[in-house]
Amino acid sequence: MKYTSIFNNENGENTFLIYDENTLNGVIIDPGCKIEKIEKMINENNVKVKYILLTHCHYDHIMSLIPLKKMTGAEIVSGARGSLNIGDPDVNLTLHGLGYEIKDIHSDIILKDGEELVFDSLKIKCIYTPGHTSCGVCYLIDNDLFAGDTLFLRSCGRWDLPTGDMEVLFSSIKEKLYTLPDDTAVHCGHGSDTNIGYEKKFNFCIRA
């Protein structure tokens, strides 16, 4: 597996490109950057994007979802609630965040909790981690966790937006993420990378 990322200066979101270095088939996780920047990243790495993986529904993670799907023909992948929430402007907050609504769109592939998306050398495990939103998931590839807005460096996602729940979020982190090996790398939806062992000791919101 190889991966790279780009950063959206306007909303602080990280968009990830993960791919098989032999076949150059890959996925985009959370297309929250401008489509031009995402296209440049794809072209610079000569990757064929087969899937668009969503960690959750918020506008800053799906901003370029529709143009990216049109450009690549990739299938949208999420958890079950994600397929509902991405097309619900009351939950995805696109009117507030983008100035227009993203609606009437659903996932092409729905992964169950613990289910893997497998292609080429990549095995991408979907881990349900609701709390920041009801549809939150993380994706585990080998020893790399792409955590969306569930877990941040010394922090975690907020829970005061539609479908958020503090107790559910803390339970997701403690029961689903803090049970992973301490050396699991965490690539966050906003901010810098961290790892599970560090967060268990030093996270300001929840420690093991």
pLDDT tens for 88-145 read 999 999 999 999 999 999 999 999 999 999 999 999 999 999 999 999 999 999 999 9
pTM attached to this predicted model: 0.97
Write down the pLDDT at residue 113.
98
The answer to whether position 84 is within a domain reads yes
Residue 207 lies in a domain: no
Bridge partners of 124, per DSSP, are 117, 141
Contacts of residues 5-12 at CB distance under 8 Å and 24 or more positions apart, as own/partner, are: 5/187, 6/33, 6/37, 6/38, 6/41, 7/33, 8/32, 8/33, 8/34, 8/37, 8/60, 8/63, 11/60, 11/97, 12/60, 12/190, 12/191
Total structural domains in the chain? 1
Q: Give a yes or no: residue 36 inside a domain.
A: yes
Using DSSP bridges, classify how beta strands 155-156 and 151-152 pair: parallel, antiparallel or unpaired. Answer: antiparallel
The percentage of the chain sitting over the pLDDT mark of 90, rounded to a whole number, equals 99
pLDDT at 208 over 90: no
- Average per-residue pLDDT in the chain? 98
126-137 exposure pattern, b = at least 16 Cβ within 10 A, e = fewer? bbbbbbbbbbbb
By residue range, what is the domain housing residue 68? 2-202
In a domain? residue 117: yes
Residue 188 lies in a domain: yes
pLDDT confidence of residue 124 = 98
How far apart, in whole angstroms, are the C-alpha atoms of residue 169 and residue 128?
Answer: 11
CATH classification at residue 163: 3.60.15.10
Scanning the structure block, which residue is given the tokens 């790279």?
4
| Residues 6+ away with beta carbon under 8 Å from 179 | none
- Tens digit of pLDDT for each residue in 41-91? 999 999 999 999 999 999 999 999 999 999 999 999 999 999 999 999 999
